[in-house]
Amino acid sequence: MNAQLFRSHTVAWLGILFSLSFSHFAQAAVLCSVTSPGFSAAYVTSNITTNVTATSFTVTCTKDAVGRRATSTISYQVTAGNGLQPTGTQNRAKKLTSFLNYSVSTVPTCATPWKGATVLPSIAASFVMAINTTVTNTYTFYGCIPPLQVATAPAGNYTDTVTMTIARLGGGGGRNRVTFTNGTFPVNIVAPATCALTTPPTNLAFAYTAFRPTAVLASASYSVTCSTLLPYTMALDATAGVVTGLNYTLALNTVATGGANPLASVGTGVAQSFFINGSMAARQAGTCTTALCTGAQVRTLTITY
């Protein structure tokens, strides 16, 4: 009877030891996570400098009351990835089948990409945490959109998502049992719908002799740059006028003759050439009373998109 009681006591005691041991390692002492609002910026085809947007990410570490130590020394660094649709290591934001390049950098000059072996903070964060405490640290980084990219990128919103990886220098959570949770941040690049008069019209000059038997034609060239696939219309404020008693007509066209007013087109992201074409009808007398007369009128060209 005594031997049976002793065996029963031993089995129960081992079961208690196993239960206590399992409970001791069940929960992490420190949890660290990284979050960021990401950045939004604009890309304008005509810009010649990099668009730089300052933003930040935040690391939040919480120590619970379960750990073996009353205090823990925490150390970490964070790096960013290439996004969801890179070409090689080049980050790209996407709209349908079109892309815009961008990068994230540790410096406002955009000279140091924040990826690979480049981490933030550059010197690993290191601090001591007591039980039941939370420590929050915020770090600045920069979204960089280089200029003079593909001119044919359509207007609209280009998006991407970038993963941030947080880890202890050397890997793992260390003997303080830190659990790291990676995060992501959104990228939104707006390519606004734009139209610009790239090259203003030159003067339209008629050389007319009174009562000449044929009409005089003249042309003035100009160019317009509008966002890819953006419809736009060009119109003159008037298609007819009188200078020194001589009647003339005007029209718009893609070639140096004829045309219409208004004239519609669709942007390609690069400069498109057009002409203001004028005609002064034959056999006009005019009002000139000397050997040579000059006259001028100002016309307005309006681009609507």
Does residue 145 sit in the same domain as residue 48? yes
User: What's residue 68's pLDDT?
Assistant: 58
For residue 18, is it within any domain? Answer: no
- Three-state DSSP at 43 gives coil
- What are residue 83's phi and psi, to 5 degrees? 80, -175
Q: Structure tokens of 149?
A: 């990219």
- CA-CA-CA-CA torsion sign (168, 171, 176, 180): positive
Candidates 40, 123, 112, 38; CA nearest to 78 is 123
Does residue 236 sit in the same domain as residue 177? no
Looking at the structure of the chain, the number of domains it has is 2
Q: How many residues does the chain have?
A: 305
For residue 14, is it within any domain? Answer: no
Given 168, 191, 214, the domain boundary residue is: 191
Residue 202 CA, chain-centre distance (Å), reads 35
Given 191, 211, 245, the domain boundary residue is: 191
Does residue 139 sit in the same domain as residue 153? yes
Task: Give the domain CATH number at 278.
Answer: 2.60.40
- 176 pLDDT band, cuts 50/70/90, is low
Question: Distance between CA 82 and CA 90 in Å, rounded?
Answer: 7
User: What's residue 8's pLDDT?
Assistant: 38
Bigger pLDDT: 218 vs 18: 218
* Mean predicted confidence (pLDDT) in 240-255: 97
* Mean predicted confidence (pLDDT) in 5-14: 36
For residue 6, is it within any domain? Answer: no
Does residue 133 sit in the same domain as residue 278? no
Question: Distance between CA 51 and CA 42 in Å, rounded?
Answer: 7
Q: Structure tokens of 87?
A: 């070409």
For residue 234, is it within any domain? Answer: yes
Asked if the model's pLDDT at residue 121 lies above 80, the reply is: yes
Given 163, 191, 219, the domain boundary residue is: 191
Q: 91 vs 34, 37, 119, 140, CA distance in Å?
A: 20, 17, 17, 19
User: What's residue 131's pLDDT?
Assistant: 84
- 284 pLDDT band, cuts 50/70/90, is very high
Q: pLDDT tens for residues 137-156? A: 999 999 999 998 876 788 99
User: What's residue 168's pLDDT?
Assistant: 87
Does residue 95 sit in the same domain as residue 183? yes
- 235 pLDDT band, cuts 50/70/90, is very high
For residue 254, is it within any domain? Answer: yes
User: What's residue 44's pLDDT?
Assistant: 82
Does residue 41 sit in the same domain as residue 147? yes
Instruction: Report yes or no: 178 and 89 within 8 Å, Cβ to Cβ.
Output: no
Question: Distance between CA 51 and CA 263 in Å, rounded?
Answer: 34
Does residue 226 sit in the same domain as residue 87? no
- 73 pLDDT band, cuts 50/70/90, is confident
Domain of 263, in residue numbers: 195-304
Q: pLDDT tens for residues 11-41? A: 333 333 333 333 344 444 889 999 999 999 9
